[in-house]
Amino acid sequence: MLCISLPANFDQADIGKPILEVVLEAGDLLYFPRGFIHQGDCLPDAHSLHITISSHQKNSWGELLQKLVPAALEIAMEEDVEFRQGLPLDYLTYMGVQNSDKDDPRRTKFFSRIESLMKKLITYAPVDAAVDQKARDFLHDCLPPMLTPEELASSVQGASTRWERGQVLDIGAQITTQTRVRILRAGCARQLQSLPQRGAQEFRNKIRAHRCHGVSDPFISQICDSRKFPMRFCRRQGMLLDRFG
């Protein structure tokens, strides 16, 4: 079973017979795919403490569509007159739960129109922008990366620069708005395209304007401007930059 959120504990009758029984010793790790129910019991002559770590939460196709479909519908309603046409004046007389068991040709026509619009909606779907919003959420929620000794040595954490007696000592490199930097590792930062917030026309204007929004770092603004992308630059917590040689 693949739950939307973590479920409450099941009754023993709901679980049924197990497909695997195994005894874990101290230090053992057991992996089972998402959606499998597990139950931990202590042996009669032992005490036990275990930790269950669940991963890949809120990362389903459904969660992506929750971001994608509203944006696609907003764009479609502004660009396609078919999405703005009025509903039949008498649709309440043959649609709805109270009319669901009626054999009415108007219902067939109504469902056919809905199906046609749903198929057409995909042509307005900003898929990459919706994926970027998932990436933004991941970068925001994940833990800072664990640096290797080599990465640590070339980062600000490994630098000898320090503040002492009112002065900055052992400055290894002066970083200015013109300094070229590189990211220590792939995945520390990502360019993002925003979903439309106040209409498709504004969304298209952002694309044409080639502006970089929501960025305070001058060198990041230069990166966005030079590549001509209407992007946000989302930085991972604890991201460390190294200067180019």
Cα dist. 78→65, 68, 86, 154 in Å? 20, 16, 14, 50
- Return the HEC string of the chain: CCCCCCCCCCCHHHHCCCCCCCCCCCCCCCCCCCCCCCCCCCCCCCCCCCCCCCCCCCCCHHHHHHHHHHHHHHHHHHHCHHHHCCCCCCHHHCCCHHHCCCCCHHHHHHHHHHHHHHHHHHHHCCHHHHHHHHHHHHHHHCCCCCCCHHHHHCCHHHCCCEEECCEEECCCCCCCCCCCEEECCCCCEEEEECCCCCCHHHHHHHHHHCCCCCCCCHHHHHHHHHHCCCEEEEECCCCCEEECC
Q: Which residues contact 83 (CB under 8 A, 6 or more apart)?
A: 73, 76, 77, 117
Please tell me the predicted confidence (pLDDT) of residue 76. Answer: 95
The pLDDT profile of the chain, 245 residues, written as one tens digit per residue, is 677 776 677 787 877 888 889 988 889 999 988 888 888 888 888 888 888 888 888 889 999 999 999 999 999 999 999 999 999 999 999 999 999 999 999 999 999 999 999 999 999 999 999 999 999 888 888 887 788 888 887 777 777 777 888 888 877 777 788 888 878 787 777 888 777 665 445 555 544 443 334 433 333 333 333 333 334 444 444 443 433 33
64 and 131 in contact (C-beta within 8 Å)? yes
The pTM (predicted TM-score) of the whole model is 0.65
Please tell me the predicted confidence (pLDDT) of residue 236. Answer: 44
Report domain extents, the chain. 61-124, 188-238
Assigned CATH class of 61-124: mainly alpha
Separation between Cα atoms, residue 243 and residue 175, nearest integer Å: 8
Please tell me the predicted confidence (pLDDT) of residue 1. Answer: 63
Please tell me the predicted confidence (pLDDT) of residue 118. Answer: 97
